[in-house]
Chain A
Amino acid sequence: MRTTHLAQSRLPVLAVLLVLASVAVMTLLVLLPLFTVFHDALSKGVGKYLASIRDPDAISAVKLTLLVAAIAVPINAAFGVAAAWCVARFEFRGKNALLTLIDLPFSMSPVVSGLVWVLLFGAQGWFGEWLIDHGIKVIFATTGLVLATVLVTFPFVARELIPLMQDQGSDEEVAALTLGAGGFTTFFRITLPNIRWALLYGVLLCNARAMGEFGAVSVVSGHIRGLTTTLPLHVEVLYNDYDFVGAFAAASLLASLGLVTLVLKTALEWRHAGELSAARRH
């Protein structure tokens, strides 16, 4: 019993040391970069910071980022709901292959997610000549940015919904149908309310990634200032021009987006834990 006693009396000291070490690791590795973004953005004063944000190129970058997300996120949400419905509610052959394909974009390099679109629609892509003949621009245009973003964020919503809907089972939906409700009524009155928080959770993560994506859009963008530079690409352009205040000012907007996302996500995990997929319950 002596060992036990010793171990217990030592524990608080060990605990304090481990907590301090954890705080130190997080501060140095994670918090310092976040602090640096805002510190460097404001290093030449608030006036310079506001001027960088009000710059016409910055404003058009913000608008383009919002536009791309406004197209990409609903596509992924619609896909996610459809995929979750057929995977969680029906048994069919090839389901596992389907699930693997849905997850695949997560394990691809963002640069490869951009590259594949160039291979299809670039000047020497499979459909390149046809597109040029018909005067359609995909690469170095908004369409390409949207395609790259959709691919990178593809699994986000589906991944939140599938495990949740499998957990919930279809009893409530079957009951509604038995009572004479139609398919769409059942979906909108039963299914959607049951999955709304998980759907919101997936949309939140999908949106954050869509707005913050860099590698994939960088490949298809062509970096045409004011036209095809999303906010993360605007950061890159300014940084490479040694306009550090401008780069960090634009970066501070993206960092704020990340922080807001983090707060909302954490709030969802705390408040609606029971209505999120099991992996998200803290």
Chain B
Amino acid sequence: MLPGFGLSLGITLFCLGVIVVLPLTALAVRPWELGLDGVWRALSAPRVAAALRLSFGLSALAALLNAPLGLLLAWTLTRYRFPGRRILDALVDLPFALPTAVAGIALTAIYAPNGPLGSLLMRVGIKAAYSPLGIFIALVFIGLPFVVRSLQPVLQDLDAEVEEAAQTLGASALQRAVRVILPALAPALVSGLSLAFARAVGEYGSVVFIAGNLPMKTEIAPLIIVIKLEQYDYAGAAAVGLAMVAIAFGSLILINALQLFLAGRGRR
């Protein structure tokens, strides 16, 4: 038997206890200082409810746009050989690698009314930065790598023989894509989208600059926590934090169920 079980488990449990379990216990316990009524009142306050709706709604929408974008990128990167492919592939991780505050101010500069793309959009009457559209753009930016990286390994391993068989049997390119490839990709796509969604819901740095932070209009849920902390409303901040964790957890359970369902169908 190998040595070191007690030592390594001891270090692991100590670190987990101090860094993860103790702080999360505070998050789980402190909202209830307000009582059940107080927690409900804190969460249903119009400004808080609007921010929660905005964060979860826009995160879902951003994930929906990330689906076709991610499919496009994963497909071209795994199926075609072209000059610059490996560089393009490495750059997919840029939204991970770029610190969020950096991405935040850069996106704001681009989509602000006087920015290169913002001014173009302004000309057709669309306000990008300081509006929900700006938040949406930032969430698409940070979510993209999750979807591409979830799809790539599956596309790589997808049996070429199955596609060839479908082709020999007379399936058109479109039929093959919809009937053969997409069902096989579905579970990975859902898991990529759920990762992107979870990240988007909690995202702060890349969103807070472009959002404009107008109460009831463009305030995201994490910002509400920051504002409540600035007012020393610890219990209120904890209530919003706990609600975010709970809603995110609930949606992930739903998504997992969907994924199992799709995986079952893909195998048939």
Chain A interface residues (CB < 8 Å from chain B): 3-4, 7, 10-11, 14-15, 18-19, 21-23, 25-26, 28-34, 36-37, 40, 75, 78-79, 82-83, 85-87, 89-90, 92, 98, 101-102, 104-105, 107-112, 115-120, 122-126, 147, 150-151, 154, 170, 173-174, 177, 183, 186-187, 208, 211-215, 218-219, 232-233, 235-236, 239, 244, 247-248, 251, 254-255, 257-259, 261-263, 265-266, 279, 282
Q: Are A101 and B20 in contact (CB under 8 A)?
A: yes
Q: Are B26 and A120 in contact (CB under 8 A)?
A: yes
- B29 to chain A minimum Cβ distance, whole angstroms, is 9
Chain B interface residues (CB < 8 Å from chain A): 2-5, 7-9, 11-12, 15-16, 19-24, 26-27, 30, 69, 72-73, 75-77, 79-80, 82, 84, 86, 88-95, 97-107, 109-110, 116-117, 140-141, 144, 153, 167-168, 170-173, 198, 201-205, 209, 221-223, 225-226, 229, 232, 234, 237-238, 241, 244-245, 248, 252
With A83-B15, A177-B3 known, 10 other A-B pairs at CB within 8 A are: A25-B69, A25-B72, A30-B94, A32-B117, A33-B103, A101-B16, A104-B20, A111-B225, A115-B225, A119-B238
CA–CA, A187 and B155, complex, Å: 38
CA–CA, A263 and B87, complex, Å: 10
Task: Rank and list the top 8 A-B pairs by shortest CB-CB distance, nearest first.
Answer: A109-B202, A212-B99, A116-B23, A215-B204, A214-B205, A183-B3, A82-B11, A111-B222
- B238 to chain A minimum Cβ distance, whole angstroms, is 6
Closest to B75 in A: A18
- B116 to chain A minimum Cβ distance, whole angstroms, is 8
11 A-B pairs whose Cβ atoms sit less than 8 Å apart in the complex: A30-B141, A36-B110, A111-B202, A112-B202, A119-B30, A119-B238, A125-B26, A126-B26, A211-B99, A254-B98, A257-B99
Q: Are A104 and B24 in contact (CB under 8 A)?
A: yes
Q: Are A265 and B93 in contact (CB under 8 A)?
A: yes
CA–CA, A158 and B187, complex, Å: 25
Q: Are B93 and A122 in contact (CB under 8 A)?
A: no
- A144 to chain B minimum Cβ distance, whole angstroms, is 12
- B68 to chain A minimum Cβ distance, whole angstroms, is 10
Choice from A89, A112, A214, A247 contacting B99 with Cβ under 8 Å:
A214
Q: Which residues of B contact A109 (CB under 8 A)?
A: 201-204, 221-222, 225, 241, 244
Q: Which residues of A contact B100 (CB under 8 A)?
A: 110, 212, 214-215, 232
Q: Are B109 and A40 in contact (CB under 8 A)?
A: yes
Closest to B225 in A: A111
Q: Are B97 and A232 in contact (CB under 8 A)?
A: no
Closest to B10 in A: A82
Q: Are A18 and B76 in contact (CB under 8 A)?
A: yes
Q: Are A262 and B93 in contact (CB under 8 A)?
A: yes
Q: Which residues of A contact B3 (CB under 8 A)?
A: 177, 183, 186
Q: Which residues of B contact A255 (CB under 8 A)?
A: 98-99, 102
Q: Are B92 and A26 in contact (CB under 8 A)?
A: yes
Given contacts A18-B72, A111-B202, A235-B101, contact A98 B234 (CB under 8 A): no
Given contacts A21-B72, A170-B2, A208-B97, contact A30 B173 (CB under 8 A): no
- B75 to chain A minimum Cβ distance, whole angstroms, is 7
Interface centre among B3, B27, B99, B203 (most CB of A within 10 A): B99
Q: Which residues of B contact A29 (CB under 8 A)?
A: 69, 140-141, 144
Given contacts A10-B173, A33-B110, A119-B23, contact A232 B12 (CB under 8 A): no
Q: Are B22 and A120 in contact (CB under 8 A)?
A: yes
Q: Are B88 and A23 in contact (CB under 8 A)?
A: yes
Q: Which residues of A contact B209 (CB under 8 A)?
A: 239
Closest to B152 in A: A282
Q: Are B99 and A258 in contact (CB under 8 A)?
A: yes
- B118 to chain A minimum Cβ distance, whole angstroms, is 11
- A246 to chain B minimum Cβ distance, whole angstroms, is 11
Q: Which residues of A contact B92 (CB under 8 A)?
A: 26, 30
Q: Are A112 and B244 in contact (CB under 8 A)?
A: yes
Q: Are B105 and A248 in contact (CB under 8 A)?
A: yes
Q: Are A101 and B99 in contact (CB under 8 A)?
A: no
